[in-house]
Amino acid sequence: MTPNNTPNRALQQDARAWSKFTGTKYTTALRQMSSPLAQGLLGKRVSARHLIRTLSEHDLVGARGGDPVLGENGFRSESPWQLDGKSDFIELALITEFLRMFTPTSAAEVGSYSLKHTAEWFLSPRCSYVSNGRLIWAAAAMGLSITDPDGEGPNLLIGISEREHDYVRRMVGHGQSRPRADHYLPAGYEHLRDALTRAGAGELVTSDWVPPVPTDEPAPFHDWLVRQVGRNDAVGDLAGDYSAGVHDSDHHLARTAGDLLTIFHETSHSAEAYDAAVTSIAEWMRTAPSVDPIRTKPVGESKDDHQGWGAGAGTTERYEYLCPCGAGAIIEEHDNIPGFREHDVRIFCDKCREEWRFVEGRGVRDWALEPTAMNTAA
């Protein structure tokens, strides 16, 4: 980017503006502008002139000809900026990179004060102190949506995904329970961590990060289940617990009904909650007749040669799956022996044999389950 150490014109202009704004020497400002950490890790290089302009022109936090309305402690705070002239610009650039990893939202969702702590934890030790005011400043310069919920400050709401923020906060926060599922992992998280390490070691990270195209993988069962939240019955309770678990990244999305059973296998739960899951799957399959029936999790398989029964050698195959409740098994067996061919699949669990049956019209290898309660009126 800057071959033979000649700073480019934009960098020089930025250094000049920052040195004037902070009252530091041009060479000191230029050293900050030239830092590998300030060359843009998840986007373009942050412009010092744009940052300075934001403080005067931004719709909400800009002075717009009057007295400053943004200070170190936040909005409508009297506290002046404590810019140290050594790392202040690099730190603002890093706060910008931190904000860039999240999906922007049109409605402002996350409190700046909470966000500033997360930024501190995430950026430590390269930026060990992030003020409320600087967090708001960087967000304003980026053009994120910002609102003032109570008209008083000093904290504002910032337009990034609340769920993604919660995820990162739990990844980097102290004494927090770590997320167990990654559906709210911000797209730029891993890239930024890697880029911070490399740039922090002096490497010029030149490749611009390309945000992935969001995939809209269908999640029909999930969509149906969250619509049941608020119902005054066992399915409504289950839907409420499920939604809270997704919200907090405690478990994965149940894109299909089978995924819900997997979640139950992986998390502790009451017997009542499991029964509600079976009831909800039965209702879902009744209301959406074309949905795929359920396959459960494979847990083992074996294939053996068999010497046969006089008419030549053959093989046997045995596949084991969890039963829906997880306490027993589904065993699928194939005897491929001349003169003796048998294909069979059975449920080895008393509870599941009552609650589930094999879907008619499918082959043994293609077995699938549906709840017996499907035909019972709700």
State how far the Cα of 127 lies from the Cα of 223, in Å rounded to an integer: 40
Q: Which is nearer to Zn ion, 244 or 368 (CB)?
A: 368
Q: Using CB under 5 A, which residues numbered 260 to 289 contact Zn ion?
A: none
Helices (H) and strands (E) in the chain, counts: 13, 11
Q: Which is nearer to Zn ion, 137 or 264 (CB)?
A: 264
How many of the other CB atoms lie within 10 Å of CB of 270? 8
Q: How many residues does the chain have?
A: 378
Site string for Zn ion, 342-361 (x = CB under 5 A): -------x-xx---------
Q: Is 333 helix (H, G, I), strand (E, B) or coil?
A: strand
Check residue 101 for interaction with Zn ion (CB under 5 A).
no
Q: Which is nearer to Zn ion, 167 or 321 (CB)?
A: 321
Least distance from Zn ion to the Cβ atom of residue 326, Å:
6
Q: Which is nearer to Zn ion, 246 or 349 (CB)?
A: 349
The answer to whether the bond into 7 is cis (omega within 30° of 0) is no
Check residue 323 for interaction with Zn ion (CB under 5 A).
yes
Q: Which is nearer to Zn ion, 115 or 323 (CB)?
A: 323
State how far the Cα of 343 lies from the Cα of 16, in Å rounded to an integer: 80
Residue corresponding to tokens 């730190």: 91
Q: Which is nearer to Zn ion, 40 or 293 (CB)?
A: 293
Q: Which is nearer to Zn ion, 51 or 263 (CB)?
A: 263
Check residue 325 for interaction with Zn ion (CB under 5 A).
yes
Size of the site for Zn ion (CB under 5 A): 7
DSSP β-bridge partners for residue 111: 157
Q: Determine the Cα angle at 29 with ends 120 and 92, to 5°.
A: 20
Return the range that interacts with Zn ion (CB under 5 A); candidates 59-67, 94-102, 159-167, 319-327: 319-327
Query: Which of 22, 202, 19 shows the shortest CA–CA distance to 126?
Result: 202
Strands 356-358 and 340-348, sheet pairing = unpaired
The answer to whether the bond into 154 is cis (omega within 30° of 0) is yes
Residue corresponding to tokens 């499920």: 242
Least distance from Zn ion to the Cβ atom of residue 264, Å:
11
Least distance from Zn ion to the Cβ atom of residue 351, Å:
5
Q: Which is nearer to Zn ion, 42 or 325 (CB)?
A: 325
Least distance from Zn ion to the Cβ atom of residue 146, Å:
52
CB 152 within 8 A of CB 76: yes
DSSP β-bridge partners for residue 317: 303, 334
DSSP β-bridge partners for residue 324: none
Q: Residues interacting with Zn ion, by CB under 5 A?
A: 323, 325, 327-328, 349, 351-352
